[in-house]
Amino acid sequence: MTMFLEQTDDYFGNDLEEKMAPTNEKELADRGFVVPHFNSFGLRFRDYDVESMRQEGVENFYRKNHTYQCYDFVKKMREEYGKMNKAEMDIWKCCELLDGVVDESDPDLDIPQIQHLLQTAEAIRKDYPNEDWLHLTGLIHDLGKVLLLPAFGELPQWAVVGDIFPVGCRFDESNVHYKYFKENPDYNNPAFNTKYGIYPEKCGLNNVMMSWGHDDYMYLVAKKNKTTLPSAALFIIRYHSFYALHKEGAYKHLMNDEDVENLKWVHIFNKYDLYSKSNVEIDVEKVKPYYVSLIKKYFPTEKLRW
């Protein structure tokens, strides 16, 4: 059985010491963002059970996602995509490619993903004008959804989007549509179906295998292409879909002290990621020059390896 202990670099051999976020999180909280009560369909956000035009499709998505995302699958995908040999492309081009992508796991949004990226980034920019690293984080946090496109392997939706969860230990009941984990090959595996499974207590999320998708992929792309974004940005990108942890407080026993610090940033980020979703579209060409300048600032090369 593989144990992920005392790891000081990631699976590329990259040094894990990343720069700290430039400002104190406490000074940054509560910028007056007004949380809307309803999404653009007039329903509560993240209500996976209420009858709606998206409910059935979303539930169907999670049935597949929970059935197929097992330890062996995740391991294979990390290895395969860790090679970064799928494409060479600049970040803005990838944003544009997402113009044609709709996320089937999302009960709150059915407009193209480039709008979600810009809505998130612009909402953050309004409340945190000086934290340009957080604007860029907003822009790129969901870019990993390019995995759905032919040039990046054309993975099915269940392998790209939706909430994420650890594999290698018991699935927590707070995961949405928990019941579908019963079909997962790991569900009855005694090595995996205990509270800690294969992980030591407080081993740190970096040592935990998360279900495969746009989060881990984009984290790998950013690291591999040597971004100078602070560690909080990389943590946000990697764990923003881990709702069982950041919303429900499950799996905390796997976090180390650094994770606890970084999680505060995910809480801030999540408000903008979730509640900026609306059908009021952003003028892409108008904001493009600003974001292109941020990409230049935080990525050493124009063309990234994907």
Ligand X SMILES: O[C@H]1[C@H](O)[C@@H](O)[C@H](O)[C@@H](O)[C@H]1O
Please select the residue that binds ligand X; options are 65, 105, 211, 227, rule is CB under 6 A: 105
Q: Using CB under 6 A, count the residues that bind ligand X.
A: 10
198 or 240: whose CB is closer to Fe ion? 240
Written as six digits, the tokens of 63 are: 């049935």
Spatial contact of 218 and 303, defined as CB atoms under 8 Å apart: no
**Residue 106 makes contact with ligand X by CB under 6 A:** yes
Spatial contact of 274 and 45, defined as CB atoms under 8 Å apart: yes
**Residue 273 makes contact with Fe ion by CB under 5 A:** yes
Please select the residue that binds ligand X; options are 163, 186, 216, 259, rule is CB under 6 A: 163
**Residue 162 makes contact with ligand X by CB under 6 A:** yes
Rounded CA gap, 205 and 128, in Å? 27
Rounded CA gap, 165 and 63, in Å? 14
Which range in 77-85, 193-201, 235-243, 278-286 contacts ligand X by CB under 6 A?
Answer: 235-243
- Please report which residue ranges of the chain form alpha helices under DSSP H: 25-28, 55-68, 71-82, 91-97, 113-127, 132-140, 214-224, 231-239, 243-246, 257-275, 284-298
Distance of CA 244 to the CA centre of its chain: 13
Please select the residue that binds ligand X; options are 161, 205, 229, 255, rule is CB under 6 A: 161
Give the x-and-dash track for 222-241 against Fe ion (CB under 5 A). Answer: -------------------x
Q: How far is the CB of 103 from Fe ion (least distance, A)?
A: 8
Work out what residue 227 binds among ligand X, Fe ion, none; the CB cut-off runs from 5 to 8 Å by kind. Answer: none
Q: How far is the CB of 163 from ligand X (least distance, A)?
A: 4
Give the x-and-dash track for 120-159 against Fe ion (CB under 5 A). Answer: ----------------------x-----------------
Nearest to 164 by CA among 91, 250, 87: 250
**Binding site per annotation, positions:** 46, 103-105, 116, 141-142, 145, 162-163, 214, 240-241, 273
**Residue 204 makes contact with ligand X by CB under 6 A:** no
The β-bridge partners of 90 are 303
Work out what residue 162 binds among ligand X, Fe ion, none; the CB cut-off runs from 5 to 8 Å by kind. Answer: ligand X
The residue assigned the tokens 């944003």 is: 95
Burial class, 16, CB count within 10 angstroms (exposed 0-12 / middle 13-18 / buried 19+)? middle
Q: How far is the CB of 215 from Fe ion (least distance, A)?
A: 6
Rounded CA gap, 45 and 28, in Å? 24
Q: How far is the CB of 48 from ligand X (least distance, A)?
A: 9
Distance of CA 240 to the CA centre of its chain: 4
Rounded CA gap, 187 and 251, in Å? 17
Residues that bind ligand X (CB under 6 A): 103, 105-106, 142, 161-163, 240-241, 243
